Structure 1
Amino acid sequence: MWKIVLYDINIYWNDKSKLAVLKEVPNEPSKESLLDIEGNKFKWCAIDHETKLFAVKPVSITDEDDLDEIYETDEEDWTCPFCGYVDHDAFECPDNEERNCPGCQSVVEHERVVTYSYVVTPVKKAKVQQY
């Protein structure tokens, strides 16, 4: 049996037997989706195959029906519209891409928008010759 446990970094790396058990399941849970345990959503964060521990953290996620058709942010970082995860390394992503959110595994599509602005400073006005 696999134990789904609540992840706590201080306990996980010192004494895993003290982790709070949320549920026991017969098979290894999937890392590709969120887990719903008694109406609460969790994402995986650590796995110990030797002791069959699947450590999870709670995640808050918005239903698709509650999102606008186009979720736009005007930020330097990439923010997931479902869970609010912020990817501070978004500059490393391609300009246009469909990908899984590292925070909740939801599929999102992003497009990089680049804008330019200019500062123009007067230096010398042109001479005007009258006729």
Structure 2
Amino acid sequence: MGSKYGLSAWHKIKHWLNTMRPDQTLYFNEREVWFCYLGANVGYEQNGRGREFLRPVIIVKKYNKNLFLGIPLTSKVKSTPYYFPLGVIRGSTSAAILIQTRSLSSRRLINKIAKIDVCTFNKMKTAAMTCVFGD
């Protein structure tokens, strides 16, 4: 599972996100990196970290004010086609985990922490397309 806090702790946060967190208008855009409640997931899916199951996520595509396509980030940069190095974000070397690309609700977003430059973002999108759909 990846987190020492367990599923019961995640279910409390998930319940709060779904029912008690007030609706708020978040102004988020493509290329931005936000802390996001990713949760405790199944198998090899990327988990959030710590008590709140948070992880930085880059917004790849904004569908509307409620839903976006995001890619979780990691500080463990690996030399595989599944990771794309993004450089230093908030003092840590970061990489996008391309195979973990997924749709997410904007209710999961906490706060914006960075914005990726256009050139790096476009290269990452190309790498993600190749990773997910092949050549």
The structure having more radius of gyration, on CA atoms, is: 1
Normalising by the residue count of structure 1, what TM-score does the alignment of the two structures yield? Answer: 0.26
Q: Which has the higher contact order (CA 8 A, sep 6+)?
A: 2
Normalising by the residue count of structure 2, what TM-score does the alignment of the two structures yield? Answer: 0.25
